[in-house]
Structure 1
Amino acid sequence: MTSTEVEILRAALDQWKSAVDAHEPKRVASCFTDDAIFQGLHPYSIGPQGVADYYESQPIGMTAAYDIRETRRLGDDLVLGYLNVDFTFVDRPMVKVYLCVIVRRIGDVWLINHYQVSRLG
């Protein structure tokens, strides 16, 4: 992993985490590209509206903690990240997942273009 790739991922994912932790679905959606493929633990969607709908359905008090495990530079404007994410709730057990994201540079900002969650064993 290079520090540049980690910094790029952290810039995008810290914005995502902040919005998830605050239960602000529209702000979560603003972290994604207009054509983002989003696969949470429910059926997939394309674009920010599906992301907003998904996070609107999540319980208030849910928070996310992530750990970047691997990165790959896919192109000048694309970085892949492989992460462990723990979603914590106030009234149920933590959910541990693997998350694969691709962030894409749009102008001066990096946005999530692909988001794929898999549940840990």
Structure 2
Amino acid sequence: MTSHDTEILRPLLEDWKSGVDAHDPEAVAAVFADDAIFQGLHPYSVGPDGVAAYYAAQPPGLGAAYEIRETRRLAEDVVLGYLSVEFTFTDGRAPLPVFLSVIARRAQDGWRLAHYQVSKLG
């Protein structure tokens, strides 16, 4: 894991987290590329509209805490990140720990998430 790769991912992940915590699906979707493959805990979608719909369906009060565990530079303009994430709820549900793999790709307007894959822990 290099600090440069982490510095690329961190602003994207902070914007994602801020949107999740604020229950702002459009802010979450803005982090994703137009052709992003998104796999949450429901059927996958492609593009920011699917991301926005997914997060609009999440309960208000959903929060996300993450830790970047590993990064890999796949190409000059592509970074893979592997994270542990804990989603929390204000409605009394137990926290949900998951693993998250993301791929960030540099575009003309900056870095965007091009792939998002959640894996639920045992």
Same fold (TM over 0.5): yes
Q: What is the rounded CA distance, in whole Å, between the counterparts of 2:26 and 2:10 in structure 1?
A: 20
Partner of 1:101: 102
Residue in 2 that maps onto 1:79: 79
For these two proteins, the number of residue pairs brought into alignment is: 121
Tell me the percent identity. 64
| TM norm structure 2 | 0.97
Gap regions ≥5 residues in structure 1: none
The residue type equivalent to 2:87 in the other structure is: F
Unaligned runs of 5+ in 2: none
SS of 1:17's equivalent?
helix
Structure 1 residue runs of 4 or more that deviate by more than 2 Å after TM superposition = none
Instruction: Say yes or no: does 1:27 pair with 2:4.
Output: no
Structure 2: distance between partners of 1:77 and 1:51: 22
Which whole-Å CA distance do the structure 2 matches of 1:106 and 1:56 have between them?
Answer: 26
The AA in structure 2 aligned to 1:66 is Y
CA distance in 1, matches of 2:36, 2:46: 5
TM-score, scaled relative to structure 1:
0.98
- Summarize deviations over 1:79-112 as a string: whole Å, max 9, x none: 0000000000001111000000000111252111
CA distance in 1, matches of 2:107, 2:94: 37
* Alpha-carbon distance in 1 for matches of 2:10, 2:4: 10
